[in-house]
Structure 1
Amino acid sequence: MDNQQLLNRITQQLKPASNVSKTPAGEVAAQADAPQPNVEQKEAINQVFELFRFNYHNQFLKAFPDYDTLIMGKRLWSRLLLEYSGEVIMRAAEKAVKDSKFLPTVHDVVSRCDRANVLGLPDVHAAYMEACRAPSPKKEYPWSHPAVYFAGRASDWFFLANSPESKALPVFQRNYELLLERVQNGEQLDIDLPAALPQHSEVPLPKEEQQRRLQTLKQQL
């Protein structure tokens, strides 16, 4: 076999491998259409990686030994943490650092990205139980946070009190998580309490005076 024939055979063998390695056009388009992290989220991911570099220097360099690996890692984290705000991501990463002497994985951070926990509110189930057990009048109950009250009101108090947890909890959870997003975005939730009753009620009029005023009113009519 001459050199030209050998070259042709090698070329034929390489063509399938080359075709397999290419990303299909559909996948490229799908990646382009996928949601992208905003500026705040990108900055949070950069800060998280710097936090890890400082606290887990050797482990960090072993996990991300070069620039390309580092960029791939940041892209993966950005995609998996896309539903959380930059603030939530940073607080979750800081919690992960406090909890572990080993370099946290993205799963470790995601597991700590519970909005209620990060924001200092009760978790979904605790909030649900509070809403179910709170006596009436609801507005006057000392709620752990107004978000629990508003989630209960949006879910309907009667529905919560008379439905099994398997049916009521998902409804409450959806309303509660929507409120958590509002709190996370800086909205202040306040419960408008009814005006307090006067400490001293007026002394009722004597019976004779009541009858006299009633008679006067009849005459005016």
Structure 2
Amino acid sequence: MDSKQLLNRVTQQLKQASKDSTIQAGDNGAIAHEPTVEQKEAINQIFELFRFNYHNQFLKAFPDLDTMIMAKRLWAKLLADYSGQVIMRAAEKTVKDSTYLPNVHEVLMRCDIADVHGLPSTHAAYMEACRAPSPKREYSWTHPAIYYAGRASDWFFLANEPEAVAFPVFKRNYELLLQRIQQGEEIELELPKALPEHSSVPLPRKEQQQRLHALQDLLKD
């Protein structure tokens, strides 16, 4: 890819970013979908990562500060659904895979929440949920989110419906849990309490009387 093609590639993104950067009408004149501090920091770090790894390409794509600011606005808008951690990890994966300066869409495609948090992919989680033996709660799950997604989908439904029918239901439930994890929620599996070694259930009255009589007879000797 020559410098002209690279510049044209980025220019198309910047034109849209310029439109998106205008303040939208409202009572307080605020910019819609303002990125969080964490997201801003992640995008700044990503641009520094790109500058280091694609030095000449980076300078040709972003020759001045205004161009870079518009590009960052575009990134913030398109990546607004992901946390800073997810965005950063996705950018690092993109750098490993790409010889040329990545665009925001290439990073967006790698914003896989499950992968970032070390969870199985949606389909792998589905297969684990379908194959796990009963009792389900006592199975050694790769992650509790798989158990809860399976339970929400209904174990009988997963076991008896074809994948074409059951997988979309499981996928929705699993991805809802992934979103909660992305937002910082910890999902843990509550294990059933172990039974005490000694039963605390009282003996039947007749057996109590028999034991009492046996003890009295023993004391007489």
TM-score (norm 2): 0.72
Aligned match of 1:185 in 180, 183, 186?
183
Deviations 1:114-155 (A, max 9, x none): 100111100111111111111110011111111101111111
Structure 1 residue 184 displacement after superposition: 2.3
| Contact 2:24-2:32 within 8 A present in 1 as well | no
Aligned match of 1:95 in 71, 90, 93?
93
| Contact 2:90-2:107 within 8 A present in 1 as well | yes
Structure 1 residue 71 displacement after superposition: 1.4
How far, CA to CA, are the matches of 1:189 and 1:142 in structure 2?
A: 15
Alignment of 1:1-221 (within 5 A): 28-29=24-25, 34-196=32-194, 213=207
Unaligned runs of 5+ residues in structure 1 are 1-22, 203-209, 217-221
In structure 2, give the amino acid aligned to 1:171.
Answer: V
Structure 1 residue 56 displacement after superposition: 1.1
Deviations 1:139-172 (A, max 9, x none): 1111111110111111111222222322322221
Two-structure CA RMSD over aligned residues (Å) = 3.0
Structure 1 residue 98 displacement after superposition: 2.0
1:33/1:72 CA distance change after superposition, 3 Å? closer
1:60/1:162 CA distance change after superposition, 3 Å? same
How far, CA to CA, are the matches of 2:188 and 2:65 in structure 1?
A: 48
Matched residue count: 184
Deviations 1:2-28 (A, max 9, x none): xxxxxxxxxxxxxxxxxxxxx8xxx95
Unaligned runs of 5+ residues in structure 2 are 1-18, 211-221
Larger radius of gyration: 1
Deviates more, 1:145-154 or 1:166-175: 166-175
| Contact 2:90-2:110 within 8 A present in 1 as well | yes
Deviates more, 1:160-169 or 1:124-133: 160-169
In structure 2, give the amino acid aligned to 1:179.
Answer: L
Structure 1 residue 109 displacement after superposition: 0.8
1:28/1:192 CA distance change after superposition, 3 Å? closer
How far, CA to CA, are the matches of 2:167 and 2:111 in structure 1?
A: 20
Structure 1 residue 53 displacement after superposition: 0.9
1:86/1:194 CA distance change after superposition, 3 Å? same
